[in-house]
């Protein structure tokens, strides 16, 4: 009797222990953030563990005893059935992802399947909505970063092409000028060579603007007039517009602003490019206008602006097109990074423009409506100083007044050296060629009569700056003229500012060469007086 009672007691305790363990398992499963489903041998919902029932396609009491097909579309049902069959066969099926509409939008879940015996299959479903959204944001960020790097590489490429192209233009322009002078009265040939030189000058201006647009100038704020920025960028703007686009510039003298010239050129390029692309294939007119205007606080409050923007006098830049215009929704999004209504557009123009304007403590306003075109107004605070007239270029020096100079031409490009050699000889000077910095240093040690060095900035064996320093060590007061296809601003950032240092941009004209020769002649007189 006692033994039977003991057995019964142990059985009760065993069942109680099993129930307790089952209860603990239930509590554990309910505590998990995942949705846990157990499907019976007929693939019906048998047991449901959900910490948050709001994530279920239907309440748990409704799901129990029902099949997947009662709540999900056929494509999801098929994927579920295939994986349940694989799990029942003792294998591990691949996870699957599916969407559930919970009333506040689609949520993405990932399901993992495992066989738990007696034909039953456990499916653990995890809410992956935020994970996938974050992955999408990362992919978008990576894509934007890649696009930005491509644009940066494009700027470097533009600068490199412009530099190399300027070397070629120096050869073309210099030899055309030398040939025209040598031919004398052969009118037809001289006219043709003059056309070559004029075309080279125009190509050189485009290269200079490519260098600026490629970011080869250092950042800094200096007094500058918006009208001069537009004029300096005009050739590049005209070259970048389609043939079906008419381009007009209405420049009025306004106040100077404190600005970065390279960024303001980029701003102008972006606004004009955006306006041109808005015209599509139908064509139209893009108008750029500069001027001056006072803005009140109430007017500035309606514009996108910097926190530092205050009421007062502003220099203005207006870019207007007569294209199809924009509706309110597009206008609302135009400053979003990488937003574009163009199929193949980057949508970077106005985003970059807004950044530049804010860095200049300015403001921007866009007016547009369907079929009425678009007007973009940029306002940048005026500087206290008015623009001063540009200095007149140095007067052309008569060859007879600057004869007798001995010029050392240092350049790794033979054609460039020969073109400079011919021009210098025609101007009545002696020219000595050096292919690199080491040869130049050797010649300077051997010749005490050198009056000027015409020095290339970028050379492979020894850079122009390194050569300059070596020549300075030999002859501290020797006039040196850097000549480069890169922008003058880059030279100024790499070489020291000295009275005996000058700059001659490639490709240069005969008159530009004469100007630095006159400068060197003056320097020679001063050196001789000092001794």
Kindly report the average pLDDT of the chain as a whole number. 77
Higher pLDDT, 529 or 97: 97
pTM of the model: 0.43
Residue that wins the pLDDT comparison between 14 and 40: 40
Helices (H), 184-260: 187-213, 226-240
pLDDT of residue 401: 42
C-alpha 287/C-alpha 252 separation (Å) is: 13
pLDDT at 398 (0 to 100): 42
Three-state DSSP at 32 gives coil
Candidate from 392-396, 401-405, 519-523 with smallest mean pLDDT: 392-396
Q: Return the pLDDT at 345.
A: 37
Q: Is 277 helix (H, G, I), strand (E, B) or coil?
A: helix
List, for residues 44-102, the tens digit of each pLDDT value. 999 888 888 888 888 888 999 999 888 888 888 999 999 999 999 989 999 999 988 88
Backbone angles phi, psi at 433, to 5 degrees: -100, 140
* Residue 517 or residue 252, greater confidence: 517
pLDDT of 386 reads 43
- Other CB atoms within a 10 A radius of the CB of residue 197 amount to 21
Nearby residues of 305 by Cβ (< 8 Å), 6 or more positions away: 357, 358, 362, 363, 364
Say how many C-beta atoms besides its own lie within 10 A of residue 237's C-beta.
Answer: 21
State the Cα–Cα distance between residues 317 and 286, nearest whole angstrom: 13
Q: Are the C-beta atoms of 241 and 319 separated by less than 8 Å?
A: no
pLDDT in tens, 171-226: 677 777 777 676 766 765 666 667 677 667 666 666 665 655 555 544 556 788 88
Q: What is the pLDDT of residues 475-485, one digit of tens each?
A: 988 999 998 87
Q: What is the pLDDT of residues 421-458, one digit of tens each?
A: 888 988 899 999 999 999 999 999 999 899 999 999 88
Q: Per-residue pLDDT for 28 more than 80?
A: no
Instruction: Over range 297-310, report the average pLDDT.
Output: 86
The mean per-residue pLDDT over the stretch 310-333 comes to 85
Residue 145 predicted with pLDDT over 60: yes
H-assigned helices in 372-509: 414-426, 437-446, 464-474, 488-494
Per-residue pLDDT, averaged over 320-327, amounts to 85
What percentage of the chain exceeds 90 in pLDDT? 23
pLDDT given at position 153: 57
Return the higher-pLDDT residue of 413 and 94: 94
pLDDT of residue 278: 78
Beta-bridged to residue 454, according to DSSP, are 409, 481
Say what the pLDDT of residue 160 is. Answer: 60
Q: What is the pLDDT of residue 45?
A: 92
| Distance separating alpha carbons of residues 269 and 264, to the nearest angstrom | 9
DSSP annotation of 231: H
Closest listed residue to residue 175, CA positions, set 431, 453, 384, 421:
421
Query: What is the widest separation between alpha-carbon atoms in the chain?
Result: 142
pLDDT at position 138: 86
Average pLDDT (307-333) is 85
- Residue % of the chain over a pLDDT of 70: 70
pLDDT for res 146: 63
The pLDDT score that the predictor gives to residue 503 is 84
Select from 84, 86, 45 the least CA-distant residue to 66: 45
Tell me the C-alpha distance between 32 and 126, whole Å.
Answer: 10
């Amino acid at each position: 009797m006692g033994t039977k009672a003991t057995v019964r007691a142990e059985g009760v305790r065993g069942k109680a222990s099993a129930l307790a363990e089952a209860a603990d398992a239930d509590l554990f499963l309910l505590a998990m953030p995942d949705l846990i489903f157990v499907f019976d041998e007929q693939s019906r919902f048998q047991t449901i563990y959900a910490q948050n029932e709001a994530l279920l396609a239907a309440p748990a009491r409704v799901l129990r005893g029902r099949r997947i097909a009662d709540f999900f579309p056929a494509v999801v049902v098929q994927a579920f059935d295939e994986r349940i069959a694989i799990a029942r066969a003792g294998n591990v099926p691949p996870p699957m992802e599916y969407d559930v509409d919970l009333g506040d939008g689609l949520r993405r879940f990932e399901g993992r399947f495992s066989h738990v015996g007696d034909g039953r299959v456990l499916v653990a479903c995890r809410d992956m909505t935020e994970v996938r959204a974050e992955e999408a944001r990362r992919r978008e960020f990576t894509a934007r970063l890649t696009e930005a790097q491509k644009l940066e590489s494009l700027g470097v490429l533009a600068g490199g092409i412009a530099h190399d192209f300027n070397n070629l233009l120096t050869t073309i322009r210099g030899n055309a000028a030398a040939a025209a002078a040598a031919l004398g009265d052969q009118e037809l040939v001289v006219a043709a060579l003059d056309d070559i030189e004029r075309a080279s000058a125009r190509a050189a201006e485009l290269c200079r603007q490519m260098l600026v647009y490629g970011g080869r100038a250092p950042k800094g704020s200096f007094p500058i007039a918006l009208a001069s920025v537009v004029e300096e960028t005009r050739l590049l703007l005209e070259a970048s517009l389609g043939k079906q686009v008419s381009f007009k510039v209405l420049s009025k003298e306004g106040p100077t602003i404190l600005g970065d010239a390279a960024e303001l050129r980029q701003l102008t390029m972006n606004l004009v490019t955006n306006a041109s692309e808005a015209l599509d294939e139908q064509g139209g007119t893009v108008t750029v206008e500069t001027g001056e205007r006072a803005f009140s606080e109430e007017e500035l409050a309606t514009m996108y602006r910097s926190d530092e923007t205050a009421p007062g006098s502003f220099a203005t830049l207006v870019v207007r097109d007569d294209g199809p215009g924009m509706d309110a929704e597009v206008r609302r999004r135009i400053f979003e990074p990488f937003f574009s209504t163009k199929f193949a557009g980057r949508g970077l123009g106005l985003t970059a423009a807004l950044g530049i304007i804010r860095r200049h403590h300015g403001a921007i306003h866009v007016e547009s409506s369907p079929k009425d075109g678009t007007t973009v107004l940029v306002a940048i605070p005026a500087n206290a100083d008015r623009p001063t007239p540009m200095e007149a270029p140095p007067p052309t020096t008569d060859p007879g007044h600057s004869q007798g100079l001995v010029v050392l031409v240092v350049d790794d490009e033979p054609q460039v050296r020969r073109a400079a050699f011919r021009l210098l000889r025609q101007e009545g000077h002696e020219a000595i060629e050096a292919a690199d910095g080491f040869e130049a240093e050797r010649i300077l040690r051997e010749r005490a009569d050198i009056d000027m060095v015409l020095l290339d900035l970028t050379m492979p064996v020894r850079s122009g700056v390194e050569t300059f320093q070596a020549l300075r060590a030999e002859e501290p007061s020797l006039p040196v003229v850097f000549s480069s296809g890169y922008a003058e601003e880059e030279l100024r950032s790499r070489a020291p500012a000295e009275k005996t240092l000058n700059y001659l941009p490639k490709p240069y004209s005969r008159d530009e060469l004469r100007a630095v020769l006159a400068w060197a002649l003056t320097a020679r007189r001063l050196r001789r007086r000092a001794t």
